[in-house]
Amino acid sequence: MDTLKVALLGCGNVGSQVARILLEDADDLAARVGARLELAGIAVRNIDSPREVDLPRHLFTTDAETLVKGKDIVIELMGGIEPARSLILRAIEGGSTVVTGNKALIATHGQQLYAKAHEAGVRLAYEAAVAGAIPILRPIRESLSGDRITRVLGIVNGTTNYILDQMDSTGAQFADALKAAQALGYAEADPTADIEGLDAAAKGAILAGLSFHTDFNLDDVYCEGITKVTADDIAAAKDASMVIKLLAIAEKLITEDGTEGISVRVHPTLLPRTHPLAAVHGAFNAVFVEADNAGQLMFYGQGAGGAPTASAVLGDVVSAARALVAGGPWRLEDTKAEIPALPLSAVTTSYCIGLDVADQPGVLARIAQIFASHGVSIETMRQTIHTEPAAAALAAERPAAELRIVTHRGPEAALAATVEDIRALDVVNSVISVLRVEGV
């Protein structure tokens, strides 16, 4: 039986699990591939760092550049842009198949990497980059390639879903929930990427690119993270039988002037508790795909964590290794559509606006008048009289009330302008929160 040489770059949460599976399941993998996958080496920063998985010391090297030379398959699990990008380019130029889980890299330098892989006739696979263990990229790229996708909507970041879920179900504080997500191996090396929505935005760009056969990168994605979501927002959502989730949404839209475009956005979103995505707990992810002929599909599973993500990496490795054994050519999509990315202002959505207002006659009428002036229609309005007035109300020395207003769907630009005009009203102490609503 032939042997395929595999280099592994990075031995953290995911890399260590990939190494474990390559060694423990070597016989099974060989039977599935038709060749043995020989782990030739693992590039690390420090050979003596403690690791969760016990791996043979002779495999470790700090010389990643030499390790990638002459390998059939290079697996990149270091994360970050450099030196991951240069090492991947070197591997591609050397004729190696590359498997990576690095969404930050694919969403920023994907086009350069695909072009190089295309030129070299090698495969670049990254199923682990989006929604961890969930097979989502291959179904979009292959199973749905005969259909027309119109919308992709999902929870694609495990860390933020874990944090929001803990805050909702146990009343945990944001910082404690984040620490737990880090300890469980869900968070990025710098968790800012998770909580500011950038990780989900990178995944949104990748999903949009494959779904709409065009090139998108991180800059095309409107991105809002969860750092402004407060315990009060979560409690208010609960009162209204809603839940807050960080969603990535990519959809095809026709603008007012008839132009077709794609909107890709990531933001905290209110969903009814009866919505299927509301039942996605912990670090689980779920992605809805809507296509012209298939209708609605939902993909669900573990979106983060060492072993689940390693499963997706190994899936790509086995698939690429089989292609190498069969000696068949690897074809990437040749022709791309050129559908523009649309700004957030082109989107139609619904808002839930939380306001701290003066509790006095005429306030509701003045607020309602502003909605009317922007053509935004109110669906529900809920008023709570503060037992403990907010700081802004105390400063204004007047009784205060909290309003939660949910609008009907309307143009994002009109909704945003409405909020700005309301913010300027003298009877409004503060705009407590603005959350978009889906699924109602």
Ligand X SMILES: N[C@@H](CC=O)C(=O)O
Ligand Y SMILES: NC(=O)C1=CN([C@@H]2O[C@H](COP(=O)(O)OP(=O)(O)OC[C@H]3O[C@@H](n4cnc5c(N)ncnc54)[C@H](O)[C@@H]3O)[C@@H](O)[C@H]2O)C=CC1
CA distance 169 to 268: 17
For ligand X, give the closer residue by CB, 307 or 364.
307
Q: Which is nearer to Na ion, 55 or 280 (CB)?
A: 280
Cα 194 to the center of its chain, rounded Å = 8
Q: Which of residues 194-223 bind Na ion (CB under 5 A)?
A: none
301 lies in the binding site for ligand X (CB under 6 A): no
Catalytic residue among 203, 238, 245, 252: 203
Q: Tell me the closest approach of the beta carbon of residue 155 to ligand X, in angstroms.
A: 9
Q: Known binder of ligand: residue 12? A: yes
* Cα–Cα distance for residue pair 322/315, rounded to 1 Å: 11
Which pair of tokens denotes residue 241?
């039988």
For residue 12, state whether it binds ligand Y (rule: CB under 6 A). yes
Which of 139, 154, 185, 225 touches ligand Y by CB under 6 A?
185
Q: How far is the CB of 223 from ligand X (least distance, A)?
A: 15
Angle, CA 273 vertex, CA 267 and CA 275 arms, to 5°: 75
To ligand X, the closest distance from the beta carbon of 35 in angstroms equals: 29
Residue 127 contact partner, candidates ligand Y, ligand X, Na ion, none, CB within 5 to 8 A by sort of partner: Na ion
CB 200 within 8 A of CB 269: no
40 vs 304, beta carbon nearer ligand X: 304
Residue 225 labelled as part of a binding site? no
User: Residues touching ligand X: how many (CB under 6 A)?
Assistant: 11
Name the minimum Å distance from CB 329 to ligand X: 30
The reply to whether 55 sits in an annotated binding site is no
349, 348, 375, 341: which is closest to 269 by C-alpha?
A: 349
- One residue of 312, 324, 363, 435 binding Na ion per CB under 5 A: 312
Q: Which stretch binds ligand Y (CB under 6 A): 101-109, 227-235, 253-261, 395-403?
A: 101-109
Could you identify the residue written with the tokens 């007035």?
A: 389
Segment lying near ligand X (by CB under 6 A), choices 27-35, 155-163, 342-350, 392-400: 155-163
The interface with ligand Y within residues 21-50 (CB under 6 A) comprises 43-45
> Is residue 282 a contact residue for ligand Y (CB under 6 A)?
no
Q: Is 301 in the site for ligand Y (CB under 6 A)?
A: no
Cβ closer to ligand X: 91 or 155? 155
Q: Is 203 part of the annotated catalytic residue set?
A: yes
268 cis-preceded (ω within 30 degrees of 0): no
**Per-residue x/- marks for ligand Y, 54-83, CB under 6 A?**
----------x------------xxx---x
Tell whether residue 143 is among the known ligand binding residues.
no
Residue 186 within binding range of ligand Y, rule CB under 6 A: yes
Q: Among ligand X, ligand Y, Na ion, none, what binds residue 14 when CB lies within 5 to 8 Å by partner kind?
A: ligand Y
Q: Please tell me the distance from the alpha carbon of residue 227 to that of residue 213, in angstroms, as a whole number.
A: 32
Contact 292, 302 (CB under 8 A): no
Position 304 contacts Na ion (CB under 5 A): no
Residue 79 interacts, among ligand Y, Na ion, ligand X, none and using kind-specific CB cut-offs from 5 to 8 Å, with ligand Y
Residue 165 engages ligand X in binding (rule: CB under 6 A): no
Give 3's strand partners. Answer: 36
State yes or no: residue 131 binds Na ion (CB under 5 A).
yes
Residue 314 binding ligand X, by CB under 6 A: no
Which residues form the interface with ligand X (CB under 6 A)?
Answer: 132, 157-159, 186-188, 194, 199, 303-304
Q: Which residues are catalytic?
A: 203
Which residues form the interface with Na ion (CB under 5 A)?
Answer: 127, 131, 134, 136, 312
Binding residues: 9-16, 103, 188
